Amino acid sequence: MSIFSNRPKTPPVAVPGGSAAGQSGAASGEQALVEKPDEQWRQELSPEEYRVLRQAGTERPYTGEYWDTHTAGVYQCRACGTELFTSREKFDSHCGWPSFWAPLAEGTVRYIHDRTLGMDRVEVRCATCDSHLGHVFEGEGYGTPTDQRYCINSVSLKLVTDDGGTGQ
């Protein structure tokens, strides 16, 4: 199955006042999509978070909070709180960004062909709020079950540890 078949199945739902995703009356088992005005995103996110999450920027390698973290937990979208990845799928790729071999579940992320900067890549976005997370690469020879590397910006994520804490 192509990674491009993973598309949102419900239309965007405006979430007034920044309420959490999934709390706006979506049908059972479906998560409502979050849509906010640009000015609201600017108020809720730091300048670096906004640059990466909303403008598809990239943080410098080896500078993010989670690139070498081995703490057990779930990685949420920093913009909307959707659970995206777990520490079970995280691996050391030595690329300077957190790397995962699969998302938490099908439908939590979506994929876009990215042909910027003269490259042909696959961009990964949060399927709930459409925030930029990073890119996914295939066939690089890592010994992972999927042969994929989800190269994700730390600033796009928030780690909730298995003991309920946050951070490294």
Tell me the C-alpha distance between 28 and 15, whole Å. 18
- 3-state secondary structure labels for all residues of 96-164: CCCEECCCCCCCCEEEEEECHHHCCEEEEEECCCCCEEEEEEECCCCCCCCCEEEEECHHHEEEEECCC
Strand-pair partners of 132? 125
Q: Is beta strand 33-35 parallel, antiparallel or unpaired with respect to 12-14?
A: parallel
- The tokens describing 100, both together, are 């995962």
C-alpha dihedral over 45, 47, 50, 52, to 10 degrees?
-130
Looking at the annotation, which residues are catalytic? 151
